[in-house]
């Protein structure tokens, strides 16, 4: 990916953060300032999964992205559900944390992550860079969980008021995509603003210090900034602004060698989705310690999520192609992408997707 992301900066790399720095350099462009906030996302060493699910008693490592403790993945992690299902089959589960989707897919490409959860844009940028990813399943859009923040004392009243101003986002993320969408709805383009591309922790510092005029970001940053009276929501991804889904993805190699693991993962994920949707208070209590957030605050955040696993359909593939075409038209990816290269056949999806999910097609 680095061949088409120009003018990036790389921080000093420690052993602990080597992988994060690799993903970090993928999406950072030179900005009008630099932030000194360091990342605190533990990464794991790469391991190659083997193909036979049951015959090898040696633990084979499956790394699934930590969901920042706000989605159904967090339920699986906190309850150790997958560990219980997969340990008898010789698998060990780890939950590495990443700043955002682009960093996840860089790790996927370097065999340092097996299952990622991102919005629509990171897979497109990854495919443009040659990553052999596979879209496993779609997730609900959760548009209200992604908001355009402005400082609490800002005089900005609408997106049009942001013309000429600095707007932060993680490059190649849902925040980046929704900036494009919001500007188009306001009759503007990216050339009408000053994009500032920063990963969420650095953008959080920049926003709190008044170094940017707006920031398109997801939870928990939105609620935290609003509660601390640092920022206010100008618009969010709801009300038709977000027209895409989130995706669970893996590499084609891992899919081909571990179909039973993927099937079990999606089965348990669907159960966790249903539980999270039907037990909001219990969900908040479960995740309070891990997030260091009080249950009432978590309930506010979780109310913005639909907790729904969605089957892959032609409509979803078509929309994803439109996203790819949009990024290419903006010259932010170096070549046209055929997103279908990353999707499976209907028959293959039928083998790994929970029947309850398929029934919603």
Can you tell me whether residue 169 is helix, strand or coil? strand
CA distance 197 to 29: 6
CA distance 330 to 190: 9
Give tens-digit pLDDT for 155-177: 999 999 999 999 999 999 999 99
CA distance 102 to 108: 10
Q: Is the pLDDT of residue 215 over 60?
A: yes
The single residue listed with the structure tokens 């992205």 is 65
Give tens-digit pLDDT for 126-157: 999 999 999 999 999 999 999 999 999 999 99
Q: How confident is the model at residue 68 (pLDDT cuts 50, 70, 90)?
A: confident
Give the DSSP letter string of 221-258. HHHHHHHTTSEEEEEESTTTT----EEEEEEHHHHHH-
Helix (H) or strand (E) holding 195: strand 194-197
Domains, the chain, in order of start with CATH, read 18-141+244-358 (3.40.190.10), 143-236 (3.40.190.10)
CA distance 125 to 307: 25
State residue 2's pLDDT score: 40
Taking alpha carbons only, the member of 199, 200, 206, 205 closest to residue 166 is 206
Can you tell me whether residue 356 is helix, strand or coil? helix
Name the packing angle between helices 18-27 and 101-109 (round to 10°).
120
Q: What is the CA radius of gyration of the chain?
A: 20
Contact call for residues 105 and 249 (beta carbons, < 8 A) = yes
State residue 3's pLDDT score: 41
* Mean pLDDT computed over 275-281: 97
Token reading at 312: 């892959």
Can you tell me whether residue 101 is helix, strand or coil? helix
Token reading at 28: 């950072």
Contact partners, residue 292, CB within 8 Å, separation at least 6: none
- CB atoms under 10 Å from CB of 130, counted, come to 11
Contact partners, residue 42, CB within 8 Å, separation at least 6: 16, 96, 97
CA distance 352 to 358: 10
Summary mean pLDDT of the chain: 87
State residue 58's pLDDT score: 58
CA distance 19 to 38: 14
Q: Is the pLDDT of residue 18 over 70?
A: no
Q: Is the pLDDT of residue 31 over 90?
A: no
Can you tell me whether residue 312 is helix, strand or coil? coil
State residue 156's pLDDT score: 98
């Amino acid at each position: 990916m680095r061949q088409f992301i120009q003018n990036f900066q790389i921080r000093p790399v420690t052993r602990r953060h080597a992988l994060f720095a690799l993903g970090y350099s993928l999406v950072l462009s030179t900005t009008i300032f630099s932030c000194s906030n360091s990342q605190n996302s533990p990464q794991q060493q790469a391991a190659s999964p083997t193909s036979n699910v049951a015959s090898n008693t040696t633990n084979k490592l499956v790394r699934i992205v930590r969901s920042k403790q706000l989605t159904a993945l967090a339920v699986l992690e906190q309850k150790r559900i997958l560990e219980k299902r997969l340990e008898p089959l010789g698998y060990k589960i780890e939950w590495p944390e990443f700043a955002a989707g682009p960093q996840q897919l860089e790790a996927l490409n370097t065999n340092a992550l097996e299952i990622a959860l991102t919005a629509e844009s990171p897979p497109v940028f990854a495919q443009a860079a040659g990553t052999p990813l596979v879209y496993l399943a779609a997730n609900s859009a959760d548009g209200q969980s992604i908001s355009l923040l402005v400082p609490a004392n800002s005089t900005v009243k609408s997106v049009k008021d942001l013309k000429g101003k600095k707007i932060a986002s993680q490059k190649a993320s849902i925040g980046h995509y929704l900036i494009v969408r919001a500007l188009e709805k306001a009759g503007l383009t990216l050339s009408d603003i000053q994009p500032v591309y920063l990963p969420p922790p650095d953008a959080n510092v920049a926003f709190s210090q008044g170094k940017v005029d707006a920031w398109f970001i997801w939870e928990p940053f939105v609620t935290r900034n609003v509660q601390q009276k640092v920022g206010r929501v100008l618009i969010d991804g709801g009300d038709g602004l977000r027209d895409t889904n989130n995706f669970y993805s893996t590499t084609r190699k891992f899919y081909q060698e571990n179909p039973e693991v993927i099937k079990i993962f999606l089965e348990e994920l669907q159960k966790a989705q249903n539980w999270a949707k039907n037990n909001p208070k219990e969900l908040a209590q479960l995740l309070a310690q891990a997030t260091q957030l009080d249950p009432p605050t978590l309930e506010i955040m979780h109310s913005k999520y639909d907790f729904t696993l969605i089957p892959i359909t032609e409509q979803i593939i078509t929309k994803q192609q439109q996203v790819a075409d949009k990024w290419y038209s903006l010259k932010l990816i170096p070549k046209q992408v055929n997103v279908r290269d990353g999707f499976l056949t209907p028959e293959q999806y039928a083998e790994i997707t929970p029947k309850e999910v398929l029934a919603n097609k």
